[in-house]
Structures are given as C-alpha cells and as structure tokens.
Amino acid sequence: MKAPSFDTSADVIVVGAGPAGATAATYLARAGIDVLLLEKSTFPREKVCGDGLTPRGVKQVLALGIDVSGDDWVKNKGLRVVGGGVSLELDWPDLTSYPPFGLVRTRRDFDEMLADLAVKAGARMRQATNVSSPIIDERTGRIIGVTAKTPEGPTNFHAPLVIAADGVSARVAIGMGIDKREDRPMGVAVRRYYRSDVRTHDDYLESHLELWDRSDPAKPMLMPGYGWIFGLGDGTVNVGLGVLNSSKAFGRTDYRALLKTWMEGTPEEWGLREETAIGTTLGAALPMGFNRTPHYRNGLLLIGDAGGAVNPFNGEGIAYAMESAALAADAVLQGLGRPEGPAREHALAGYPAAMSDHLGSYYRLGNVFSKLIGQPKIMAAATKLGLPRKQLMYLVLKVLAGLYDTRDGDWADKVTVALTKVVPRV
Ligand SMILES: Cc1cc2nc3c(=O)[nH]c(=O)nc-3n(C[C@H](O)[C@H](O)[C@H](O)COP(=O)(O)OP(=O)(O)OC[C@H]3O[C@@H](n4cnc5c(N)ncnc54)[C@H](O)[C@@H]3O)c2cc1C
C-alpha cells in the first residue's frame, strides 16, 4: 500500500455522506473535532428515495441552521390519504416539538447540500472512497480505522472512533460482526420520476393506501404498504411505493410491475405514463425498527439506515438518520472529552441508551403494527374503517408520522404516548 498524498488519520471517521453521515460530521466539525468523512460516490449523485420530508425531517434540517425559504424547497402543509374511494386531506399537526410544514427536495440536491455543509463546518470529505472493511485491533477487538478503495489505490484510515453511516449495505457494521436482526421488519421501496404539469404542484404529500398485487388475477392481494405521489414543483413528480416484509407476498412480488400497473390506472390527465417517465424504476431496501443493533460496540457507532433506523410505520428514514446522527455526535463529544478507557466507554454507551429512550418504545409499537398490517384482512379493515373517520385519521397521522408532543399535547398526543407505553419489550 503506497503512502497517500493526504492525511489519513482523524479524531473520528464517518463512513458515508448521506443525511446521517453528513449531519454527524457537521455537528462534530462545528464542535472542533477533526472529522474524516469518507464517501464512495461523487456528488452530485442520485439516491433512490421519495424525496419527501415530514415535519420531523424539517425539524432536523432547521436544527442544522439551514434556510428553507428559497425556491429549492417545495413546501407542503399536510398529507392527503387516498383509499377505499375516500381522499382525505390532513394538515400537519400544530405542535411544540415540530414545525407545521413538510418539504420536498430531490436527494440529488439535498444530499449534496448537506455534504457541503459538513465541509463548510470543517469536515475533511473524501469522495470516490469506497470503504471495504474495518481495521480491528486484534488485542482489544476495537475498530481503529477502515480500509478503502480510493483513486490513489487501497488506503488505510485511522481514528479511535468510527461512525458507520453507510446506509442499508452496513458494510462496516457487518465487518465488525454486527448482523441484521431477523425479528425486525424490513421493507422494499421503488420509485420513478415522471413529467406531470398537473401533479407537480401540490400542497400535500399524497399517499395511496390501496396497493393491489393483481399478478394472479384470480387472487388479487392487498399489500401492506403504500404508494406516494410527491410533486417536485418543477414539472416533475416522484412516484413510488413501499411494501413491508410482513406479508406472504413479500419477495414474490414484482414491485416495478406493481408501480407500472398502478400508474396505468391513474387518471389520463395526470400524464403518468411510459412516455412521460424519466429514467427507470429504481429500488432499495428499507431497514426498519432498529434491525441492526447494538448501536454502539468497540469504538463503532451505527447511525441512520446502517442502524436500521427507518420508521416501521411509514418508511420514513431521513429524519431518523439525522436524529440518530445528532445523538451519536453528542455521545462522541462526551466520549472524546474523557480519557480513553472506561470513562470514555461510559459516555459512548450513552448513544444506544439515548436511541432507546428516544425511539425504542415507539419503534416497538411500529414493529407490532408492521406485523398486523401484513395480514391482508387487517390491512383492508383498517383502511375501510379508518379512512372515513377524520378524527381517527388525525390520530393515525400522528402515530404513523411520529408527530406528537410527549408533554402537554392534545388528546391524540396523549393516546399515542399511552400506546407506546403498553407495548412489551422483546
Ligand atoms: C424508494 C425509497 C423511497 C424512500 N422515500 C423516503 C422519503 O420520501 N422520505 C424519507 O425520509 N425517507 C425515505 N426513504 C428512506 C431514506 O432514503 C433512507 O432512510 C435515508 O437515505 C437514510 O440515510 P442514511 O444517511 O442513513 O443512508 P444513505 O442515504 O443510504 O447514505 C449512505 C451513504 O453512504 C455511502 N456509502 C455506502 N457504502 C459506502 C462505503 N462502503 N464506503 C463509503 N461510502 C459508502 C453511500 O454512497 C451514501 O452516500 C426511502 C427509501 C427508498 C428506498
């Protein structure tokens, strides 16, 4: 291995410059920590996503001090839920904890903007740097760096702490022996862009609850998941669908075909047809409900998708990637402020504890929910009974989008908090 022309050691290495990694790197660099941010691709790059931020995601964007008043951001005021012949517009709730609006911005723009922010804060980002494995101290079992393929050849990077923000592939965690938990839900989602003057401007994020798999016409199956149409305000829309692994049909369904069939059934005037499609349908897995733990072990912190942080109720992941990044950055700052050894480890153990306090009971409820709706009869009954009842849907919105005040909230907040408390630990 030839010596590289750049400095390969740092206080902290962050692997992956998606929303999780860029956020963690920003907070750490702003606090004066020397951070190396290693990213396998080169910005701007595409990321398969719905491009939608609920108020939970917006809160994280605002927390970084990002100005969202410009034309780059498409604001929305709520969620339109469509299903069972009903279309219901639910405004985002008015809460102390979250802003009352959501945003849409392509991940091509959004991720580059976040990575730039990390660099402006002082993080040293190295793009085209594909991390292949952790470097482990044989004596202690701790991670002490990573090996990566770089334009200058294979390179070793060293730091006493590593944050894995490498998304669902979770290569670093796997290299450290932290495997996926099979008892937690997993989803699959696909998306495609279309040109549509009719649907590109929308004050609401639109979700369609009835996804029918009609590949066997004799046995149409209601899928546990939903489809979305998010207007990007520039003449295009992001359309996609996500399905949970809790149903029998999971893995046997052609999701791209499902999206195509759904699009063909939408009104002609929306223009969502093969001729207006931009590019192909792309898909990826959604690691949910903390499906990779522990979130800290032997010098390695897992954040975002690498730690299975996607919300099992709605498949939203950006907000939780950024929330976990903020919590991890805090624990790292506390850890680096103490001497190496038990004192530092004590502070770092604060990260999984904070994740558990912050999302543990809510995700446990979500994991139960994902199992229930995997049964087509329950999914059908929930759609039929719930949608026509606006008060009930107001509660459902709060639960599904994680938008509730834990203190001094309204009746729906109190019901949500109570629900999270009754789910047993597993
Ligand atoms: C089809 C689809 C639609 C979705 N829609 C939404 C939505 O509308 N709203 C929402 O909130 N969430 C959505 N999600 C989930 C969301 O995309 C993820 O939860 C989110 O991107 C997680 O952020 P992250 O930073 O943890 O991981 P990622 O965004 O995956 O970022 C990981 C980064 O690490 C880099 N990387 C990976 N491996 C390596 C390596 N070995 N070395 C160096 N770098 C590496 C990658 O290039 C990438 O830049 C959707 C997901 C899918 C699949």
Q: 282-340 pLDDT, tens per residue?
A: 999 999 999 999 999 999 999 999 999 999 999 999 999 999 999 999 999 999 999 99
Q: How far is 214 from 260, CA to CA, in rounded Å?
A: 12
* Model confidence at 2: pLDDT above 60: yes
For residue 408, count CB atoms less than 10 angstroms from its CB and return exposed for 0-12, middle for 13-18, buried for 19 or more.
exposed
- Identity of residue 97: S
| 424/271: higher pLDDT | 271
Residue 395, φ and ψ in degrees, nearest 5: -65, -45
100 in a structural domain:
yes
Is 355 a member of any domain?
yes
Confidence check: pLDDT of 422 > 60: yes
- Determine the structural domain holding residue 103 and report its residue range: 12-76+96-182+289-365
Cβ of 312 closer than 6 Å to ligand 1, yes or no, is: no
User: What is d(CA 231, CA 228) in angstroms, rounded to the nearest whole number?
Assistant: 10
Q: pLDDT band at 426, cuts 50/70/90?
A: low
**Predicted confidence (pLDDT) at residue 243 exceeds the cutoff of 60:** yes
Please say if the pLDDT value at position 183 is more than 70.
Answer: yes
Buried b (16+ CB within 10 A) or exposed e, 308-329: bbbbbbbbbbbbbbbbbbbbbb
Q: pLDDT exceeding 90 applies to what percent of the chain?
A: 74
Single-letter residue type at 234 = D
C-beta 310 within 6 A of ligand 1: yes
Residue 310 carries which DSSP code?
A: B
**Mean pLDDT (whole number) for 190-210:** 96
pTM of the model: 0.96
14 Cα–ligand 1 center, Å: 15
- Beta carbon of 282 within 6 Å of any ligand 1 atom: no
Q: Give the Cα separation of 164 and 303 in Å (integer).
A: 6
Does 81 map to a domain?
no
The amino acid sitting at 184 is R
- For 111, the token pair is 């991720």
Q: Probe ligand 1: pick from 59, 79, 166, 290, max atoms within 8 Å of CB?
A: 166
- Tell me whether residue 64 is in a domain: yes
CA of 105 to the centre of ligand 1 (A): 14
The answer as to whether 87 is a domain residue is no
Q: What is the pLDDT of residues 260-296, one digit of tens each?
A: 999 998 999 999 999 999 999 999 999 999 999 999 9
| Mean pLDDT confidence for 170-199 | 96
For ligand 1, whether the C-beta of 398 sits within 6 Å is no
Measuring from atom 31 of ligand 1, which residue has the nearest CA? 18
Q: Cα separation of 10 and 406, whole Å?
A: 38
Q: Taking the CB of residue 106, how many other CB atoms lie within 10 A of it?
A: 20
Asked if the model's pLDDT at residue 388 lies above 90, the reply is no
Predicted local distance difference test score (pLDDT) of residue 359: 96
The verdict on the CB of residue 136 being under 6 Å from ligand 1 is no
Q: Is residue 298 included in any domain, yes or no?
A: yes
At residue 375, does pLDDT exceed 90? no
pLDDT at 424 over 80: no
pLDDT at 44 over 80: yes
Separation of 168 CA from ligand 1 center, angstroms? Answer: 7
Which CA distances in Å does 418 have to 365, 399, 404, 413, 421? 11, 11, 12, 9, 5
308 contacts 290 by C-beta, under 8 angstroms: yes
- Tell me how far CA of residue 425 lies from CA of 8, 24, 318, 357, 365, in angstroms: 42, 29, 25, 13, 10
Q: What is the mean pLDDT of residues 363-368?
A: 90
Q: Ligand 1 pocket, 307 CB below 6 A?
A: no
Domain count, the chain: 1
- Ligand 1 in contact with 17 (CB < 6 A)? yes
pLDDT (mean) for 162-179:
98
- Does ligand 1 have an atom closer than 6 angstroms to the CB of 352? no
Listed residue (138, 171, 140, 141) closest to 38, CA to CA: 171
Would the pLDDT of 42 be above 60?
A: yes
41 lines ligand 1 (CB under 6 A): yes
Substitution candidate for ligand 1 out of 290, 318, 324, 327 with most atoms within 8 A of CB: 318
pLDDT for 77: 96
Q: What CATH code is carried by the domain that includes residue 18?
A: 3.50.50.60
Distance CA 158, CA 147 (A): 9
Higher pLDDT, 280 or 425: 280
Residue among 49, 104, 363 whose CB has most ligand 1 atoms within 8 A, to mutate: 49
Report helix angle 107-121 to 19-30, nearest 10.
20
> Does a structural domain hold residue 268?
no
**What DSSP letter does each residue of 194-239 carry, written as one string?**
EE-TTTS--SEEEEE---EE-SSTTS-EE-SEEEEEEE-SSSEEEE
pLDDT at 420: 82
Of 311, 310, 292, 353, residue with least CA distance to 328:
353
Distance of alpha carbon 330 from alpha carbon 112, whole angstroms: 23
Pairwise pLDDT comparison (83 vs 107), residue with the higher score: 107
Mean pLDDT of all residues in 96-111: 97
* pLDDT at position 425: 65
Could you tell me the pLDDT band of residue 176, with boundaries at 50, 70 and 90?
Answer: very high
Instruction: Output the residue whose Cα is nearest ligand 1's atom 3.
Output: 49
Which residues lie below 8 Å from residue 132, measured CB to CB, with a gap of 6+? Answer: 146, 147, 148, 149, 154, 171
More confident position, 402 or 174: 174
Ligand 1 neighbourhood includes 18 CB (under 6 angstroms): yes
Work out the average pLDDT over 188-209.
Answer: 96
Which range has the top average pLDDT, 207-216, 283-292, 411-420? Answer: 283-292
Residue 282 inside a domain? The answer is no
Q: Which ligand 1 atom sits nearest the alpha carbon of residue 21?
A: 25
Decide: 126 in ligand 1 pocket, CB within 6 A.
no
pLDDT at 379 over 60: yes
DSSP category for residue 44? S
- How confident is the model at residue 230, as a pLDDT? 98
User: 319 near 56, Cβ under 8 Å?
Assistant: yes
In the numeric block, which tokens belong to residue 288?
């949910």
- Alpha carbon of 384 to ligand 1 centroid (Å): 33
Instruction: Say how far residue 416 (Cα) sits from the centre of its chain.
Output: 21
What atom of ligand 1 comes closest to residue 191's alpha carbon? 1
Task: Kindly state if the Cβ of 169 falls inside 6 Å of ligand 1.
Answer: yes
State mean pLDDT over 187-212: 95
Q: Model confidence at 253, in pLDDT bands (50, 70, 90)?
A: confident
